[in-house]
Amino acid sequence: MDFVSVIERKKRGEELTNEEIRAFAGGAADGSVKDYQLAALLMAIRLNGMTDRETRDLTLAMAESGDMLDPDVGGVPVDKHSTGGVGDTTTLILAPLVAACGGKVLKMSGRGLGHTGGTIDKMESIPGMRVTMPEEEFVRTVREIGCCVVGQSAQLAPADKRLYALRDVTATVDSVPLIASSILSKKFASGARAIVLDVKTGSGALMPTEEDSIALAGAMVRIGALSGRKITAVISGMEEPLGSHVGNALEVKEAIDVLSRRCPEDLPLTRVALYLGAHMLTLSGVAKDLDCARAMLLEKLRDGSGLNKLREMIVRQGGDPRVCDDTALLGTAPVVREILCPADAYLCATDCTRLGYAAQRMGAGRASKEDVIDLRVGFVMKKRIGDFCRRGESLCAVHAADEASALRAEREILEALTFADEKCPPSRLIWDVVDENGVRRIGEDRQI
């Protein structure tokens, strides 16, 4: 097939045929199409979009570019995926909690993309942790202990693996059809039958507006319905980092702190993890409704079963389980610097994307796909939107590789924060739920 003509047609905004889309995915998977040609088509798709039919065809073509698992895990294989956030460590909290409740969490996660962190990068801060394994072992682990979180194997959706890396460095991340097909191709290939999507909205999200987030969620729900998968999408806020810790080892530490109950249960990170986990349990048939599911998750959090399940998963994946008792084993940065509040004021807004890029420039993320991450670095926010900050009080602790990096991060973090004399409301956590019945707006209450 003349791939230049395919690029030309999409550049003009024309609808591609299934054959052309399969040539695109196949060329990405087998290397027959060059990076620069793939990048050109990615940009044409980003600028001109795709129809639902094109997006469905691209999803299936990428899923079928490699192995398609049909796993027997002793229950409904359930997965959760976030569109990407800052300080979002929900996977490492909810996967063991859902598994402790009897769910079967078959999870393939990605690496950092743009200003957002990646679960696989975070997991590599655990000494010895394997984030790749043979498909048979992956399925067996889920069947036997209830959860396994690995990176995308070369055999599963290889087209997406190559395109995912290219999107990160070609400014084509924020495209509804590319996001939808990337997420769902991995889920379909890995054998997930029930999928909960965490679609972020706000200053730190790929989709900054609620309208755009609902559009992405709706596209994925429709693709799922056409493909025989149960999909529910939760629109959650990303106006500030979800957790207080930003950076790979730091975020793993916070997840362990949550499961160890060293954090209050009303912590925003914990609340969102429980809400998403409740949808996973109901969608996969383990719980009859969200209230029942939430009660099950809280029980497993409070009795230590979730932490024990994380420890069990770490052992099965070759990691050092002692990190669950001593988070210092995750590693520490050489320089820790406190950022002090410049005046008495309320924190009223954050530019969450700028905060994410501040962490990236410290070495916690990648500017290009070849970059090597420093797993130790990042920062810990001490204040959230709506909090009062006294002059000289610590706003944030920067964990850096050297003094120069710490000073640069301090400047960039302060530039990302907005203060006011009057108190402002806290940022919103859960906005909407999108499923086959449509869009349902969610009010903030104690159950979230």
Q: Which amino acid is at 207?
A: M
Pairing mode of beta strands 335-340, 394-400: antiparallel
- Residue 226 pLDDT: 84
Q: What is the mean pLDDT of residues 16-28?
A: 96
Measured in residues, the chain has a length of: 448
Residue 201 corresponds to which tokens in the numbers above?
A: 């909205």
3 state SS of 448: coil
Beta strands in 292-363 (DSSP E): 335-340, 345-350
Residue 15 corresponds to which tokens in the numbers above?
A: 């609808």
- Residue 381 pLDDT: 98
Per-residue confidence band for 367, with pLDDT thresholds at 50, 70 and 90: confident
Q: Is pLDDT at 359 greater than 50 in this prediction? A: yes
Is there a shared CATH topology between the 3-49 domain and the 77-327+428-441 domain?
A: no
Q: What is the pLDDT of residues 159-207, one digit of tens each?
A: 998 998 899 789 998 888 998 998 899 899 999 999 999 999 998 887 8
Torsion angle in degrees (nearest 10) through CA of 6, 8, 14, 15:
10
- Residue 284 pLDDT: 96
Per-residue confidence band for 445, with pLDDT thresholds at 50, 70 and 90: very low
- Residue 153 pLDDT: 76
Q: Is pLDDT at 114 greater than 80 in this prediction? A: no
Q: In what order do the strands lie in the sheet with 345-350?
A: 388-389, 345-350, 417-420
Active site residues: 81, 160, 167, 182, 186
Burial of residue 9 (CB within 10 Å: 0-12, 13-18, 19+) is middle
Alpha carbon separation from 298 to 120, 262, 376, 442 (Å, rounded): 26, 14, 30, 21
Q: 332-420, what's its fold?
A: Aldehyde Oxidoreductase; domain 3 (3.90.1170)
CB 300 within 8 A of CB 312: no
Q: Can you spell out the DSSP letters for 69-133?
A: -----SS-EEEEEES--SS--HHHHHHHHHHHTT-EEEEEE---BTTB--HHHHHTTSTT-----
- Residue 448 pLDDT: 57
CB 302 within 8 A of CB 369: no
Q: Can you spell out the DSSP letters for 136-178?
A: HHHHHHHHHHSEEEEEPPTTSSHHHHHHHHHHHTTT--S-HHH
Q: Residue 167 contacts by C-beta under 8 Å, 6 or more apart in sequence? A: 42, 113, 173, 175, 178, 182
- Residue 113 pLDDT: 67
CB 213 within 8 A of CB 207: yes
Alpha carbon separation from 349 to 91, 196, 271, 354, 442 (Å, rounded): 26, 29, 21, 12, 22
Angstrom distance (rounded) from CA 3 to CA 155: 24
Give the mean pLDDT of the chain.
93
CB 356 within 8 A of CB 243: no
- Residue 371 pLDDT: 82
- Residue 427 pLDDT: 92
Q: What is the pLDDT of residues 327-354, one digit of tens each?
A: 999 999 999 999 999 999 999 999 999 9
Q: What are phi and psi of 350, to 5 degrees?
A: -130, 145
Alpha carbon separation from 273 to 6, 184, 223, 237, 309 (Å, rounded): 42, 21, 25, 13, 16
Q: What is the mean pLDDT of residues 38-53?
A: 96
- Residue 54 pLDDT: 95
Question: Token pair 């497993």 is at which residue?
Answer: 300
CATH architecture of 3-49: Up-down Bundle (1.20)
Q: What is the pLDDT of residues 408-434, one digit of tens each?
A: 999 999 999 999 999 999 999 999 999
pLDDT-above-70 percentage for the chain: 98
Class for the domain spanning 77-327+428-441: alpha beta
> Structural domain boundaries of the chain?
3-49, 77-327+428-441, 332-420
Residue 298 corresponds to which tokens in the numbers above?
A: 């809280």
Per-residue confidence band for 444, with pLDDT thresholds at 50, 70 and 90: low
Residue 34 corresponds to which tokens in the numbers above?
A: 């060059």
The structure's pTM equals 0.90
Q: Is pLDDT at 446 greater than 50 in this prediction? A: no
Q: What is the pLDDT of residues 63-106, one digit of tens each?
A: 999 999 989 999 999 999 998 889 999 999 999 999 999 999 99
- Residue 270 pLDDT: 97
Q: Is pLDDT at 134 greater than 60 in this prediction? A: yes
Q: Is pLDDT at 447 greater than 80 in this prediction? A: no
Angstrom distance (rounded) from CA 170 to CA 36: 10
Taking the alpha carbons of 114, 116, 119, 121 in that order, is the dihedral positive or negative? positive
CA atoms within a 13 Å half-sphere pointing along the CA-CB vector of 310: 26
Residue 161 corresponds to which tokens in the numbers above?
A: 């693996």
How many other C-beta atoms are found inside a 10 Å radius of the C-beta of residue 104?
A: 27
Angle at alpha carbon of residue 186, lines to 184 and 189, rounded to 5°: 105
